[in-house]
A and B are shown apart, each in its own frame.
Chain A
Amino acid sequence: MNDVWNQIRLSWTWLTASAQWHGDDGIPHRLLQHVIYSGVSLACAAVIGLALGLLVGHTGRGGFVVVSLANLARAIPTFGLVVYVVLVHYSITAALIALVALAVPPILVNTYEGLRGVDADAKDAASGMGMTGWGVLWRAEVPMALPLILLGLRTSAIQVVATATIVAYPGFGGLGRYIIDGLARNDYQLVVGGTVLVVLLALIVQIVFAALRRLVVSPGLLGTARSS
């Protein structure tokens, strides 16, 4: 128990020390780097995962193959893959590609499953009333699949935020810098402080997605509509 308290006190002292809040090695700068790397990776993964997931889910063709491949990719020890790519290629592009590869499967699989789960009667009614293929996708399938699509995005976002620490290995900064430096110097205050920041960022991502869900998902799907 004492140990835990100690760690918390240590990281609190570190986090609140004014030296940590200025300059290139300061928390704001590292945080911004981390957010940018995570954001770029997630955006690329979203484009790939959503496009593929919507295509396969809407047409109903190739679903088995795509989902199997995506799940296979998930089974690869991701951290190992990322470290390997980063250490071998030692470039920011390689690091970002690794993060994208990590983020695509949850988005893809959830988008596909979301579309597949859309009520067949509602789809039949949509096209029977004169919606075109695109109309059915955008006016019926996507809005109804939105809870699962957002879940996929959130899962990927949190994974990316946590894993983006490795960008610090090839020396491109981010919050991972503190952890790696701390480990190298046996400075556990630094390690814990960096970790706490990553956890906080992940929590913020979680909150942002919860807010997004309330904002864009219809109350008719969440069962939260007021009865009046």
Chain B
Amino acid sequence: MITFEGVTKRYPDGTVALDDVSLECPTGRITVFVGTSGGGKTTALRTINRMVEPTAGRVLIDGGDVRERKPAELRRGIGYVIQHAGLFPHRTIEDNIATVPYLLRWNKKKARAAAHELMERVGLDPSMARRYPFQLSGGQQQRVGVARALAADPPIMLMDEPFSAVDPVVRAELQDEFLRLQAELHKTIVFVTHDIDEAIKLGDRVAVFQTGGKLVQVDAPEDLLAHPADDFVAGFIGQNRGIRTLGFAETGGLRLSGDAVFAASADAADAAGLDWVLVVDADRRPLGWARPADETGPLAEARLAPVGATFRAGADSVRVALDAAVLSPAGLAVGVDEAGAVVGTAGGADLLAVPTHGPAHHRADRAADRPAGAPEPADAPAKGGAGD
């Protein structure tokens, strides 16, 4: 657990980078600091490993003041990833990754073995071990940066806009792998970004910073979307707040209907009276949409409109399902199981009837929104499917 207690950073010229910030970053969770530039989020992150010394207040790691430890020694126990990776151009990939093990005086063999193992962990081909950073793409360099931070297996990781400098496709990939990695490693992570979508996607808790170094709200992402503390947060979250809230609603409890699903062997006449029907093959895989009114004979010979998008029932969020409904010519979302077989369809109204979980906030009681006292996010992870 990382604890900020009234941390203020004021520079000699009078600029306030952090203004009395109190907050907790729970152990084993991802806490995202998000905000406008000049909001102090990077400064806040850098007070944790003493790259910035606060003017007032203190930062505690598991109850111990960071100032009681020598900066270099403290930092060797905290993973550090920055934008543009900051790799050492003169070192090979394996030696970049082994930086902290070398500082900790591991022997070379052990340090390199750890480096190779981490390369695989972060999705890098170990044959790249002897290459130099200039021979890698931006995305690969960023993976090396993450591997380097993980090399000595620190319990805490500080990540300062690690995925900001790569293109959106690579960024999404890196984010997904980062979440997969965190599910295995359970590090205590502080992650800085200016991208609210990234914050919502990655954060177990999201801390919103406002210009002038003020912390305005700390909450689970779904609560942040549902109940922004003020106009600044609402404005920062931006458009489509409601739709994005649906990203946290599960499709597990959704009732899917089989009424509009027909096998290809069925006759168009069987579906008479329906506007659109979904035609599926013998394995119940979707083939396309047909209009029974325009067809005669078996549906296998019908003219089919493309299925469009589907959603994995129980695994995907209501937002994905709603997206699939909008893209379908019938206005129905097609739910499939892991094998890709159709479970059933749901209309827009069915989807919107799913309750968004997340604890209700007492808007009148603003004191409850105070960052340090904010409730922990719900502990039970979402389990897809009905189980066996």
Interface residues of A (CB under 8 A from B): 119, 121-132, 135, 140, 143-144, 146, 217-221, 223, 225, 227-228
Shortest C-beta distance, A125 to chain B (Å), equals: 3
Which residues of B lie under 8 Å from residue A143 when comparing CB positions? 88, 90
Bound together, the chains give a CA A146 to CA B80 distance in angstroms of 26
Cβ-defined contact, B82 with A121, below 8 A: yes
The proximity string for B residues 212-249 relative to A, scoring 1 for CB distances below 8 Å and 0 otherwise, is 00000000000000000000000000000000000000
Other A-B contacts than A126-B99, A129-B103, 18 sampled, CB-CB below 8 A, are: A121-B83, A123-B86, A124-B82, A124-B86, A125-B80, A125-B82, A127-B75, A129-B76, A129-B100, A129-B149, A130-B72, A130-B77, A135-B72, A144-B89, A219-B132, A220-B89, A221-B89, A223-B134
Cβ-defined contact, B49 with A125, below 8 A: no
Bound together, the chains give a CA A22 to CA B133 distance in angstroms of 54
B148 interface hit (Cβ, 8 Å): yes
Chain B 144-169 residues near chain A, CB threshold 8 A: 145, 148-149, 158
Interface residues of B (CB under 8 A from A): 49, 51, 71-77, 80, 82-92, 99-100, 103, 130-135, 145, 148-149, 158
Cβ-defined contact, A220 with B86, below 8 A: no
Cβ-defined contact, A130 with B73, below 8 A: yes
Which residues of B lie under 8 Å from residue A144 when comparing CB positions? 88-90
Give which listed residue, B103, B133, B149, contacts A220 with CB less than 8 A.
B133
The 8 closest A-B pairs by CB, nearest first: A220-B132, A125-B86, A121-B86, A130-B76, A218-B90, A130-B75, A128-B80, A143-B90
Give me 22 A-to-B residue pairs in the complex whose CB atoms sit less than 8 angstroms apart, sorted by A's number: A119-B86, A121-B86, A125-B86, A125-B87, A127-B51, A127-B75, A128-B49, A128-B80, A129-B80, A129-B103, A129-B149, A130-B73, A130-B74, A131-B72, A144-B89, A146-B90, A217-B90, A218-B89, A218-B90, A220-B134, A225-B132, A225-B134
In the complex, which residue of chain A has the Cβ closest to the Cβ of B149? A129
**Contact A221 B82, CB 8 Å, known A129-B99, A130-B103, A227-B135:** no
Bound together, the chains give a CA A135 to CA B49 distance in angstroms of 17
Which residues of B lie under 8 Å from residue A228 when comparing CB positions? 130
Shortest C-beta distance, B47 to chain A (Å), equals: 13
Shortest C-beta distance, A78 to chain B (Å), equals: 34
Shortest C-beta distance, B280 to chain A (Å), equals: 49
Shortest C-beta distance, B126 to chain A (Å), equals: 13
Which residues of A lie under 8 Å from residue B91 when comparing CB positions? 218, 220
Shortest C-beta distance, B207 to chain A (Å), equals: 21
Majority SS at the chain A contact face: helix
Shortest C-beta distance, A72 to chain B (Å), equals: 32
Q: Taking each of B82, B88, B99, which has the highest tally of chain A beta carbons within 10 Å of its own beta carbon? A: B88
Which residues of A lie under 8 Å from residue B148 when comparing CB positions? 125, 129
Which residues of A lie under 8 Å from residue B100 when comparing CB positions? 129-130
Cβ-defined contact, B49 with A131, below 8 A: no
Cβ-defined contact, B103 with A122, below 8 A: no
Cβ-defined contact, B131 with A122, below 8 A: no
Cβ-defined contact, A128 with B89, below 8 A: no
Shortest C-beta distance, A124 to chain B (Å), equals: 6
In the complex, which residue of chain A has the Cβ closest to the Cβ of B93? A220
Shortest C-beta distance, B92 to chain A (Å), equals: 7
Give which listed residue, A135, A146, A221, contacts B103 with CB less than 8 A.
A135
Cβ-defined contact, B135 with A225, below 8 A: yes
Bound together, the chains give a CA A219 to CA B90 distance in angstroms of 7
Bound together, the chains give a CA A103 to CA B51 distance in angstroms of 38
In the complex, which residue of chain B has the Cβ closest to the Cβ of A217? B90
Shortest C-beta distance, B89 to chain A (Å), equals: 5
Which residues of B lie under 8 Å from residue A131 when comparing CB positions? 72, 103
In the complex, which residue of chain A has the Cβ closest to the Cβ of B127? A228
Bound together, the chains give a CA A27 to CA B91 distance in angstroms of 45
Cβ-defined contact, A121 with B84, below 8 A: yes
Cβ-defined contact, A121 with B85, below 8 A: yes
Q: Taking each of B77, B135, B158, which has the highest tally of chain A beta carbons within 10 Å of its own beta carbon? A: B135
Which residues of A lie under 8 Å from residue B99 when comparing CB positions? 126, 129
Q: Taking each of B49, B73, B132, which has the highest tally of chain A beta carbons within 10 Å of its own beta carbon? A: B132
Bound together, the chains give a CA A134 to CA B7 distance in angstroms of 30
Shortest C-beta distance, A121 to chain B (Å), equals: 3
Bound together, the chains give a CA A227 to CA B127 distance in angstroms of 10
Cβ-defined contact, B86 with A122, below 8 A: yes
Bound together, the chains give a CA A146 to CA B89 distance in angstroms of 12
**Contact A218 B103, CB 8 Å, known A121-B85, A129-B76:** no
Cβ-defined contact, A218 with B132, below 8 A: yes
Shortest C-beta distance, B111 to chain A (Å), equals: 13
In the complex, which residue of chain B has the Cβ closest to the Cβ of A142? B90
Which residues of A lie under 8 Å from residue B130 when comparing CB positions? 228
Bound together, the chains give a CA A228 to CA B158 distance in angstroms of 32
Shortest C-beta distance, B133 to chain A (Å), equals: 6
Cβ-defined contact, A122 with B88, below 8 A: yes
Which residues of A lie under 8 Å from residue B131 when comparing CB positions? 225, 227
Bound together, the chains give a CA A191 to CA B387 distance in angstroms of 97
Shortest C-beta distance, B351 to chain A (Å), equals: 45
Q: Taking each of A121, A125, A130, A143, which has the highest tally of chain B beta carbons within 10 Å of its own beta carbon? A: A130
Which residues of B lie under 8 Å from residue A132 when comparing CB positions? 72
Q: Taking each of B80, B100, B148, which has the highest tally of chain A beta carbons within 10 Å of its own beta carbon? A: B80
Which residues of B lie under 8 Å from residue A126 when comparing CB positions? 86, 88, 99
